[in-house]
Structure 1
Amino acid sequence: MDNYVKIANEYQRKFFGNIPHRLIFANLICGLVSLLMSISGFYRFSSLFILLAGVCSYLNGKSYRQQHPKPETTNQFESFADMTSFAVAPVILVHSLKNWSFLLIVAFISFPFAGAYRIVKLNPKSTNDYVLGLPLPAAGIVVALLAFFSLVSPIIMIILSLLMSTSLEIPKP
């Protein structure tokens, strides 16, 4: 009987222990599919895949809060997935929707740069109670929601970029 319990516990550890990693993969896949949807002209689907990536990122964060500490390689992979889903995909989506302008070029450069800055500089300084600056997934989701309803503007993206780069303390959900 002990052998069956041991096997069941091992199976449970392997399956449920990998859920955070699977959510990171799902986040990345949603970001990549969003890019393909934008390039193919399916803008609303692109927005929906960014939103779905947000759900995966949220669930990943919840599952990792129960496991301390998070491995460094996991942090790096999660950062890569977040950059793809919440910085690059929204910028390509907005680029596909809008005509080129000076403000769009500024937004096109500042949004992913601010997202990368936030991940590298501000994420390590965050605590269990609050984060510094607007989280990249939140900014990407705002852009995706606005793009879904064709309300996005480069000015909003620039404001979101500034909010991501500030040291403003925002409580964690």
Structure 2
Amino acid sequence: MNGEKIDMTESMRKGIYILPNLFTTGSLFAGFYGMVATMNGDFKSAALWILASSIFDGLDGKVARLTGTSSKFGVEYDSLADLVSFGVAPGLLMYKWALQPFGRLGWLAAFLFVVCGALRLARFNVQVNTVENKRFVGLPIPAAASMVSATVLLFYHFGWPSSYKKVAILVLIYLLAFLMVSNFRYYSFKDPELIKRQPFAFLVLAVLLLIVIAAEPVKMLFIIFLCYIASGIVGFVMTWPRRRRLEKMIHNKHHREDR
């Protein structure tokens, strides 16, 4: 622990990388302004600002990796910004938009989302050097917050009654909270192969996807985030038989060694 503090102090004396941390600050600003919009009753704008925050959050890591400016300070700053932008901001949005009529049960449900997001971030920081880079363990908190925002925007788009949103948000909170602290694996989009040469058909598909999103942005954003959330569950179910066989092999091996 003392060694880590000394390393951090020495790193701070040398200075910090400006560019990736500016993107992190942009993410934090968008999340904070989302809370301001929530308190002013402008829930649609709050949802949009949280989505904007997720864009900045995605850029800061990529900029740091591409420019070789990753640092321990940046990782810690990013985690603190994520907790505000993707934990507190969507938690407050869900409470003010749908859960306030439930009183204590409402804000406790919103707190559940925040604390599971914090646990997800803490686990990520601990496991960052021990798990594969292509997969996240548990639903990433930016994806959970983006799903909340997409749901809010979908309700405004269709003009659904307020009675529906109470049930929808309650179900969504418990689902997202569980997925964030689960062992389901989600694609991280950090695969270096993504930025290498790809078949021409990939470009055509990407352009078609952008056109569809531009035509129906609210519906498509909701569908995209829903599919991403479902991907971890589907992947877990599909790999279950293989994991069971592997566990049995390990158990049998240990049993023979004990004998």
> TM-score, normalised to structure 1's length?
0.82
Residue equivalent to 1:135: 140
Greater CA drift, 91-100 or 69-78: 69-78
* 2:13 corresponding residue in structure 1: none
Percent identity between matched residues is 24
The Cα RMSD (Å) is 1.9
8 A Cα contact 2:117 2:177, kept in partner: yes
> Is residue 2:221 matched to residue 1:171?
no
Which residues of structure 1 form unaligned runs of 5+?
1-16
> Counterpart amino acid of 2:71?
P
Q: Show the counterpart of 2:172.
A: 156
Paired amino acid for 2:133: N
Aligned partner of residue 157 in structure 1, secondary structure: helix
Q: Which one has more relative contact order, counting CA pairs under 8 Å at least 6 apart?
A: 1
Matched, 1:146 2:145: no
The match for 2:25 is 25
Secondary structure in 2 matching 1:167: coil
Once the two structures are superposed, residues 57-76 of structure 1 have per-residue CA deviations (whole angstroms, 9 ceiling, x without a partner) of 11112122335573222111
How far does residue 21 in structure 1 lie from its aligned partner after superposition? 0.9
Poorly superposed stretches of 4+, deviation over 6 Å: none
Task: State the partner residue of 2:40.
Answer: 40
CA contact (8 A) 1:114 1:164 kept: yes
Q: 1:169 and 1:67 mapped to 2: Cα distance?
A: 28
Alignment match, 2:117: 115
Count of aligned residue pairs for this structure pair: 157
Counterparts of 1:80 and 1:100, CA distance in 2: 30
User: Which structure's CA Rg is the greater one?
Assistant: 2
**Contact conserved, 2:23 with 2:57, CA < 8 A, in 1?**
yes
- Report if aligned partners of 1:123, 1:131 keep a CA contact under 8 Å in 2: no
Structure 1 position 122, deviation (Å): 3.0
Q: What secondary structure sits across from 2:180 in the alignment?
A: helix
Structure 1 pair 69/63, CA: closer, same or farther in 2 (3 Å)? closer
Task: Find the residue that maps to 1:53 and give its secondary structure.
Answer: helix
Mapped contact 1:123–1:132 kept (Cα < 8 A): no
> For residues 67 and 116 of structure 1, what CA distance do their matches in structure 2 show?
28
Counterpart of 2:55 in structure 1 is 55
Confirm or deny: 8 A CA contact 1:106 1:158 kept in the other structure. Answer: no
Deviations 1:141-165 (A, max 9, x none): 0001111233551211110010000
